[in-house]
Amino acid sequence: MKALLVEDDAAIALVVETVLQREGWSVRHVLDGEAALEGEDAPDLLVTDLNLPGSHNGLEIAHLLRERHPQMAVVLMSGDYEDRDTAPHGMAVLPKPFRRAGLLAAIEQAAAVIRT
């Protein structure tokens, strides 16, 4: 299982990467949207911050990558997402700060949407 992590905060990236690896994911970590879009591998999971440096935010990256990889599960992380209860179609929103269980639940929620 391949995960793409897009997060510019080193502390958050380390936590997410560690949790994912312990759950058996192979993780590719990048700092911004441009780097995320350069990869050729098809990730099974995208975990991205909504607010990123560069020309693309996390939601734009999710939509662009979903065009290439329609079966990719998406988790959007944000400390200031306006409507935390309403995720964009087929995506899970993970409010920051979060715990391990919250991250895993968001991944399961995102994967469940793809399976249906």
pTM strictly above 0.85: yes
Query: Where residue 89 falls among pLDDT bands split at 50, 70, 90?
Result: confident
pLDDT in tens, 53-85: 888 999 999 999 999 999 999 999 998 765 555
pLDDT: which is higher, 11 or 86 = 11
Instruction: Please tell me the CATH code under which domain 2-115 is placed.
Output: 3.40.50.2300
Report the 3 state secondary structure along the chain. Answer: CEEEEECCCHHHHHHHHHHHHHCCCEEEEECCHHHHHHCCCCCCEEEEECCCCCCCCHHHHHHHHHHHCCCCEEEEEECCCCCCCCCCCCEEEEECCCCHHHHHHHHHHHHHHHHC
Residues 36-52: pLDDT tens digits?
Answer: 999 778 999 999 999 99
Percent of the chain at pLDDT > 70 equals 91
